[in-house]
Amino acid sequence: MRQLKNFVEWLLMTYPDEKEVTANMLPTEFKFDQKASVSEVFDKEWILSLELKEAREKFEKVYLTLHMKRFNGNISKTSKSVGMDRTALHRKIRQLGIAFASLTEPLE
């Protein structure tokens, strides 16, 4: 709920005169298509506008989400694939705010 509130506030500040929200107005992370390449998701201007910590978190979120979807949300298989301990992977998923329900849908 807090993320939605922050997003709406961001929209109002960024586009104060607009009465309608279009896809062009959305930040890149909301436009992510699981079939898109990483270079399409992280364009140079956008990624360079972020501090290192935020850019790393965004990359980790996309990276781990794609791996989790690849293994239908299976933590054991994902942890082996990415070279992480299962406990550390659980902690990272929580830290990054990755919704577990969305991870059980396989990539097409």
Residue 51: give its domain's CATH number.
1.10.10.60
The pLDDT value recorded for residue 80 is: 93
Pair (20, 55) in one structural domain: no
Note down the domain range covering 68. Answer: 32-108
Pair (13, 36) in one structural domain: no
Contact assessment for residue 106 and residue 69, using Cβ atoms and an 8 Å cutoff: yes
Q: In angstroms, how far is the first alpha carbon of the chain from the final one? A: 29
Mean pLDDT to the nearest integer, 28-34: 51
Name 52's Cβ contacts closer than 8 Å, sequence gap at least 6.
none
Pair (14, 48) in one structural domain: no
Pair (19, 72) in one structural domain: no
Q: Write down the mean pLDDT value for the chain.
A: 76
Our count of domains for the chain comes to 2
Q: Whole-model pTM?
A: 0.56
Q: What angle do CA 107, 23, 35 make, to 5 degrees?
A: 20
Q: pLDDT tens, 1-22?
A: 566 666 677 777 777 787 777 7
Mean pLDDT to the nearest integer, 49-72: 87
Hey, what long-range contacts does 90-95 have (CB within 8 A, 24 or more apart)? 92/60, 92/64, 93/64, 93/68
Contact assessment for residue 65 and residue 103, using Cβ atoms and an 8 Å cutoff: yes
Question: What is the C-alpha separation between 8 and 98, in angstroms, rounded?
Answer: 20
Report whether pLDDT(38) > 70: no
Pair (37, 12) in one structural domain: no
Residue type at position 105: E
